[in-house]
Amino acid sequence: MDADIDRILWTASEISDRVSSLASEINRDFKEKGCDLVVVGVATGAFMFLADLVRAIEIPVAVDFVRVESYGSGTESNGMPRISSDLKVDVSGKHVIVVEDIVDTGNTLSCLISYLKSKGACSVSVCTFLDKPARRRVHFELVGEGKIYRGFECPDYFVVGYGMDFAELYRNLPYVGVLKPEMHT
Active site positions, annotated: 104
Non-local (6+) Cβ contacts of 165 within 8 A are: 44, 45, 171
Q: Ramachandran region of residue 170, left (φ > 0), alpha (ψ -120 to 50) or beta?
A: left
CA-CA distance, 25 to 13, in Å (whole number)?
A: 19
Q: E-strand spans in the chain?
A: 5-10, 37-43, 62-71, 77-85, 95-103, 123-131, 148-153, 159-160, 176-179
